[in-house]
Amino acid sequence: MNIEIRYYTKSGHTQKLAKAIAEELNITAKTIDKPLEKDVDILFLGSSIYGNSIDPAITKFFNNINVNIGLIVNFSTAGSIESTYEQVKELAQLYNIPISSKEFHCPGEFVGMNTGRPNNNDIENIKKFTHNFI
């Protein structure tokens, strides 16, 4: 089974989650500027909310996909919005890529809110999520 991890982050919060997934799966997490080079069974895709939306870099990532993806698993951080799931789901549907209804989201530190998040508990929770998903 080919599993890949791609993520986008400005603050490093989503990167922390990506690295925890990578540690759990014993693979390397890469930023979305690293294209997928071969077909993927499961793509863990991480993003965050910036100004009530995912960054346009995520849309660009989808535009540049030229391999088959069996399933996207969304993970995200955000200061005040619940998750990036619905926005990523819209893109996945636009490109006819299945997306799991299961996702992982935790708060990210933002302008004094959610100080220290993602924290050690969040890291352990995403590892459990990943283990249980696989």
Q: What is the model's pLDDT at position 35? A: 95
Q: The pTM is what? A: 0.94
Q: How many CA atoms lie within 13 A of 42 on its CB side?
A: 16
* Structural domains of the chain in order of their starting residue, each with its CATH number: 3-133 (3.40.50.360)
Q: What is the dihedral of CA 54, 57, 59, 61, to 10 degrees?
A: -130
What's the pLDDT tens digit per position in 80-107? 677 899 999 999 999 999 999 999 999 8
One DSSP character per residue, 31-61 reads ETTS---S-EEEEEEEEEEETTEE-HHHHHH
